[in-house]
Structure 1
Amino acid sequence: MKADSTVPADSACTGGLPSAALAGPVSHAVSRVARLHRITAGRLLKGLGLYPGQEFLMMHLWDTGAVRQAELIKAMDLDPSTVTKMLQRLEQAGHVRRRPDPDDRRAVLVEATEESCALHAEVRDAWSDLEEHTLAGLGPAERAELTRLLAMVEENLCQETGDCPAR
């Protein structure tokens, strides 16, 4: 019988992981989970007329009120052109408004509109659904432990990259 050349000879030894990921099974798992979580969130947000990432921008505006566009770009930690495109789409949908900053006419203030209040509740509900779907089968103690462990992982990565978000 001829061996299948598409399957590595030692595939039974990898435990289902790609051979390059054998030295980092947790990192591989985190990457897979993050990818699937983003896909699931994207599906929920699509039903609200949002693209992934736009909900974070809106969450920031709902919590902070009007901010300069430059400050928003910094807070979102995204390329300015990406934030500009997000704002254009959100403005067209009636969720944000941009206006000159009265203290500095060169700057632009961005704020959530009154019309976005309904979206606020829908985003909160979508994130609640995502949370329940993501953590199905985990009890309260397991959820708390997972949250604690992920916070430690985030802190490790934050220190490594030197790119710690403001809390």
Structure 2
Amino acid sequence: MSQSTPKAGKASAVTGQEATVPVPAAAGGGPVSHAIFRLARLHRMLAGQLLRRIGLHPGQELVMMHLWELGPQRQTDLVRLMDSDAATMTRTVQRLEQAGFVRRRPSPTDKRATIVEPTTASHALRREVEQVWTRLEDLSTAGLSADESTAALHTLERLEHNLVQAAADPGRADAER
């Protein structure tokens, strides 16, 4: 069986592009998974560079997007929306609060819950976040036609669906081995 994953310094037969990190032989059985790993790492790094310019870290903009879209939310609901854990969300919200972008207050109906809401100052940030995401999209899809971008999006959605299904039924993933 021929290997379609590029080795370090070798071009992919499909794209003509070189892998950005060495592809270990052990990853030979998972070329798509290794490509996803490389892509996600680069995407997060570039997003971080763009977001730092507006005073945010990767992930914080996603919390803000949900708050701008949905309005004030219980912190536990943000954990669920972001598929995060409580400790990570607590740190994220604390940092956003220190930056003046969110305000926390006790829930009027549940004394155990905390409500997180965007501040007036955060609304000025919204346009900058939208610009960062547009720039990130432009950089990610550079050179792709509209049809190629649509096909890439459909493929990524299918991969996500497959992994959501596998996560929902861990026995299925083990049984297919």
TM-score between both structures, scaled by the size of structure 1: 0.85
- Whether the 8 Å contact between 2:47 and 2:136 is mirrored in structure 1 is yes
Residue of structure 2 equivalent to 1:100: 106
Distance in structure 1 (CA, Å) of the matches to 2:157 and 2:92: 28
Please state how far the C-alpha of 1:71 moved relative to its aligned partner. Answer: 1.3
1:49-88, Cα deviation, whole Å (9 max, x unpaired): 1111111111111111011111112222222111111111
Q: Which has the higher contact order (CA 8 A, sep 6+)?
A: 1
Gaps of 5+ in 1: 1-12
Report how many residues are paired.
Answer: 151
1:91–1:160: structure 2 CA closer, same or farther, 3 Å change rule?
A: same
Specify whether residues 24 and 128 from structure 1 end up closer, same or farther in structure 2 by C-alpha distance, changes over 3 A only. Answer: same
Aligned mates of 2:102, 2:43 — CA distance in 1: 26
Deviations 1:138-158 (A, max 9, x none): 010000000011100000001
The 1:105/1:34 distance shift into structure 2, 3 A limit, reads same
Partner of residue 28, structure 1: 34
5 Å-filtered alignment, 1:1-167, equals 15-16=6-7, 17-162=23-168
What secondary structure is seen at the aligned counterpart in 2 of 1:62?
helix
CA RMSD after TM alignment: 1.6
TM-score normalised to structure 2 length: 0.81
Kindly provide the amino acid, as one letter, of the partner of residue 105 in structure 2.
R
**Other structure's SS at 2:103 match:** strand
Change (3 A) 1:125 1:14: closer
Over the matched positions of the two proteins, sequence identity in percent amounts to: 51
Gaps of 5+ in 2: 8-22, 170-177
CA distance in 1: counterparts of 2:93 and 2:118, whole angstroms:
10
Runs of 4+, deviation exceeding 2 Å: none
* Structure having the higher Rg: 1
SS of corresponding position for 2:55: coil
CA–CA separation in structure 1 for the residues paired with 2:29 and 2:74: 44
Q: Distance in 1 between matches of 2:5 and 2:128?
A: 43
Instruction: Report the secondary structure of 2:69's partner residue.
Output: helix
